[in-house]
């Protein structure tokens, strides 16, 4: 059982008989002597997708769920179910759209490098790579001398995701996007 101070994003824990995936951890270090560091943790309930927050002190013990990670690729979407295929044994896992709301913006057809999270053989969520490459399909034309400025403009990617990109970006460019922040990193 890990301590609250050892939790990281993506860990799956069990609280009161319910499974949760760690989404965000805020650390608050009080300035007074003898005060303990507080860990405010935001969870997503799996597989239903509900939000949950709790504050722990660093020495609180948390029950970790037995979790298996399998490398998968994205196959297709049917209504609100997204289907992924295991890279080793070709088995398929389907997840409801509500379960992976934070990750769905970054998934594109044929995408590989995704990890599916399994508890007792059942899929409960996915982990994306830190960066993904996306195709820009729609953006306003930039100014000719815009490369030296820090100005941005909106762009739409092939999977429908919209973000701010530097003004020199044009339609047809491939860009790297950070999956945690959803922000432009560089051209690919």
Q: Are both 82 and 50 inside the same structural domain?
A: no
Domain that holds residue 107: 68-127
Read off the CATH number of the domain in which 17 is found.
2.30.30.30
pLDDT in tens, 105-153: 899 888 999 999 888 888 888 889 999 999 999 998 866 655 556 788 9
Read off the CATH number of the domain in which 152 is found.
2.40.50.140
Number of domains in the chain: 3
Q: What is the pLDDT of residue 140?
A: 84
Q: What is the pLDDT of residue 60?
A: 86
Q: Are both 165 and 152 inside the same structural domain?
A: yes
Q: What is the pLDDT of residue 92?
A: 94
Q: What is the pLDDT of residue 2?
A: 78
Q: Are both 152 and 176 inside the same structural domain?
A: yes
110, 127, 144 - which closes a domain: 127
| Contacts of residue 93, Cβ cutoff 8 Å, sequence gap at least 6 | 70, 72, 83, 84, 85, 86, 116, 118, 123
Q: Are both 120 and 166 inside the same structural domain?
A: no
23, 45, 64 - which closes a domain: 64
Q: What is the pLDDT of residue 65?
A: 81
With residues binned 3-state (H G I as helix, E B as strand, rest as coil), the percentages for the chain, rounded to 5, are: 5, 50, 40
pLDDT lower than 50: segments of the chain: none
Strand partners, 63: 14
pTM over cut 0.75: no
């Amino acid at each position: 059982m890990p301590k609250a101070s050892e939790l990281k994003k993506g860990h799956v824990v069990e609280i009161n008989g319910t499974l949760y995936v760690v989404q965000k951890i805020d650390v608050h270090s009080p300035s007074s002597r003898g005060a303990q560091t507080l860990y405010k943790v935001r969870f997503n309930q799996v597989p239903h997708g509900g939000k949950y927050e709790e504050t722990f002190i660093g020495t609180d013990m948390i029950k970790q769920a037995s979790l298996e990670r399998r490398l998968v690729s994205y196959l297709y979407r049917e209504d609100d179910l997204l289907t992924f295929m295991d890279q080793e044994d070709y088995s398929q896992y389907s997840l409801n759209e509500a379960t992976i709301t934070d990750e769905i913006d970054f998934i594109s057809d044929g995408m590989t490098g995704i990890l599916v999270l399994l508890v007792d053989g059942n899929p409960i969520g996915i982990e994306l790579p830190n960066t993904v490459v996306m195709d820009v399909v729609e953006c306003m034309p930039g100014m000719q001398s815009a490369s030296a400025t820090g100005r941005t403009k909106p762009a739409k990617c092939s999977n429908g995701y919209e973000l701010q990109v530097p003004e020199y970006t044009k339609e047809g460019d491939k860009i790297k996007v950070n999956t945690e922040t959803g922000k432009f990193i560089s051209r690919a």
